[in-house]
Amino acid sequence: MNAVASSSSNASAGQTLAQKLIARASGRERVAVGEIVTCAVDLAMFHDSSGPRRLKPMLEELGAQVWNKDRIVLVMDHYVPERDDDSRRIVRIARDWARDQQLPHVYDSQGICHVVVPQHGHIRPGMLCVGGDSHSPTGGAFGAYMFGVGSTEMLGVVVTGEIWLRVPETIQMWWDGALPAGVTAKDMMLHMIGRFGMNGGRYQAVEFAGPAVKALSMQERMTLSNMSAELGAQAGLIAPDDTTAAYLAAAGAPPVDMAPWFTDEGAQLTRHAFDARTLEPQVAAPHSPANAHGVSNFANTPVDVAYIGACTGAKLDDLRAAASVLRGHKVAGGVRLIVAPASLQDQRQAQEEGVLQVLMDAGAELFPTACGACSGYGDPMGDDITVISTTARNFKGRMGSPTAQVYLGSPYTVAAAALRGRVTDPREVLR
């Protein structure tokens, strides 16, 4: 696929979406790339792993209070269901702190934070949000500026409601055309990471735009923004539109004005152009998402485990995709197919639609709606096996044993591999 880079240097002609969002948060009309500004935080999200067990002792040492409980969202998703004394201790700390603080927005064992929080309408266009997780840029799919922070930075936010940041440059990933059947946002993302590497964003804000992006469902957009972290970007943004509005309305979010949140013509940015029509399904080989190439490069690689889970691969749209491959079939002998839906809401809807039954009839094992094996928890991958997974990362040892060979692909591709027992172009099966 050809990609052409271009840029505009006329900074006075307009502002990027990133600049507009940061300007609003800092109480200014406009900001310039490179400026350091202090921003008011609209929402702080953290989970059982990144949150209370780290924040509680620091708050107590400072004698500090939470600045605004209504702007905090806590999700228990990393160490649930509890399987040992350590996980029980971590989750107990989170539950006790949430009760003591009387937090109004707590989601316990409801699914993965990056899916559950948007499903409850917490992230909306125009907001500036922080998350205690590296995949917090997921919020950018809604036209919000959201990025991940560490525990010390989160402490500052929780106490003051503010954070400083340097206004980033914008890299715009412009996708023309339309994706072929069997090709997804996950394939788009793996292609970009394969091209630019895991430091391709270099702190910048990445904005996804163009006809192919606009045609994506909200959940597919979330996958793009989520994996901007794998590009090394601070934020992964998509301008809100009617698709955004419809999703938020269904989530019960209050109406917001989406009109201001777009990149102006002539704004200073670097653009890379892609043609979605020529994109083939992508697979990333061990042990990096940057080892991504077309699925044909890995054809017939035998697999032992096919894992459909995580915030980038087990949302309702992902489960539907996998079911379209597996409907009426059984997984290959000797292959273990694991399905861990991204949220209880998505699992319930998949059940109502018959999607979950298709997967179970094909031989899938149903796992809890949590981060699970993506973070090496629950039922980690064993020694010397080959895994193909819908997760965002395949670093050595991340999903369990360091000797496990983990490949990444879309739900279509992972389901096709489960069906054939080897890496397969899902378009062969769909035809």
Buried b (16+ CB within 10 A) or exposed e, 152-162: ebbbbbbbebe
- Check whether 30 has a pLDDT greater than 80: yes
Quick count: other Cβ atoms within 10 Å of Cβ 288? 18
- pLDDT > 70: what percent of the chain? 97
Q: What confidence tens digit (pLDDT) does each residue in 48-80 have?
A: 999 999 999 999 999 999 999 999 999 999 999
Secondary structure (3-state) at 374: helix
- Find out if CATH 1.20.120.1200 is the number for domain 283-430: no
Among 254, 235, 245, smallest CA distance to 129 is for 235
The residue type at 189: M
Encoded tokens for 11: 């900074």
- Partners of 310 in beta bridges: none
Check if the beta carbon of residue 393 is closer than 8 Å to that of residue 287.
Answer: no
Check if the beta carbon of residue 418 is closer than 8 Å to that of residue 326.
Answer: yes
Q: What DSSP element (H or E) covers 162? A: strand 162-166
pLDDT, position 5: 44
Q: Cα(308)–Cα(314) distance, rounded to whole angstroms?
A: 6
Phi and psi angles of residue 124, each rounded to the nearest 5 degrees, phi first: -135, 160
Architecture of domain 1-279: 2-Layer Sandwich (3.30)
Q: What confidence tens digit (pLDDT) does each residue in 192-211 have?
A: 999 999 987 677 999 999 99
- Check whether 406 has a pLDDT greater than 50: yes
Check if the beta carbon of residue 220 is closer than 8 Å to that of residue 188.
Answer: no
Q: Determine the average pLDDT of the residues in 281-308.
A: 97
Encoded tokens for 225: 């923004």
Fold matches, 1-279 and 283-430: yes
**Does residue 393 or residue 399 have the better pLDDT?**
393
Q: Cα(244)–Cα(253) distance, rounded to whole angstroms?
A: 11
- The domain segmentation of the chain, as residue ranges, is 1-279, 283-430
Residue 264 exposed, middle or buried by CB count within 10 Å (0-12, 13-18, 19+): middle
